[in-house]
């Protein structure tokens, strides 16, 4: 019974394209436009993580900051969408938002940039503070 319940929960979570065992809710397997639409439908701001495979701070953020339980408080207002600036639609997204350094976190509401953070964070607490400060400006 418990296995069936868990399987149902995983199926539902997968069907809406959000992954979050812990940490910041991340939209997976969707295009940028689909991620924008999902964030709008949920009345949330989309955090677009524009990264590259070769960027050490990008790798650190993905491994240590985004999945941390220390950032779960952001789930109330934000969804994370990760996009590689050197692959697929990420090339166009990086150009659209004039990304010149990695990682760049572009905060998007209804398709428009409302804030930005350039560079990584060393701790989950620092990341949460930077997000809150960016949204206050």
Distance CA(24)–CA(52), nearest Å, equals: 19
Q: Choosing from 58, 61, 74, 93, which is the catalytic residue?
A: 58
Query: Are 94 and 85 in contact, with CB atoms under 8 Å apart?
Result: yes
How distant, in Å, are the alpha carbons of 41, 77, 86 from that of 25? 15, 10, 23
Q: Choosing from 13, 19, 37, 55, which is the catalytic residue?
A: 55
Query: Catalytic residue at 58?
Result: yes
Query: Are 84 and 67 in contact, with CB atoms under 8 Å apart?
Result: no
Active-site residue set: 55, 58
């Amino acid at each position: 019974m418990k296995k069936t319940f868990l399987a149902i929960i995983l199926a539902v979570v997968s069907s809406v394209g959000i992954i979050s065992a812990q940490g910041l809710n991340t939209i997976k397997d969707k295009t940028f436009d689909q991620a924008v639409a999902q964030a709008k439908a949920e009345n949330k701001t989309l955090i677009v993580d524009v990264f590259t495979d070769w960027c050490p701070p990008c790798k650190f953020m993905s491994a240590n900051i985004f999945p941390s339980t220390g950032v779960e408080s952001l789930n109330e207002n934000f969804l994370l969408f990760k996009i590689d600036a050197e692959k697929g639609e990420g090339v166009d997204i990086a150009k659209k938002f004039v990304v010149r350094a990695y990682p760049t976190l572009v905060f998007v509401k209804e398709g428009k940039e409302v804030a930005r953070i350039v560079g990584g964070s060393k701790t989950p607490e620092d990341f949460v503070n930077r997000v809150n400060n960016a949204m206050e400006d």
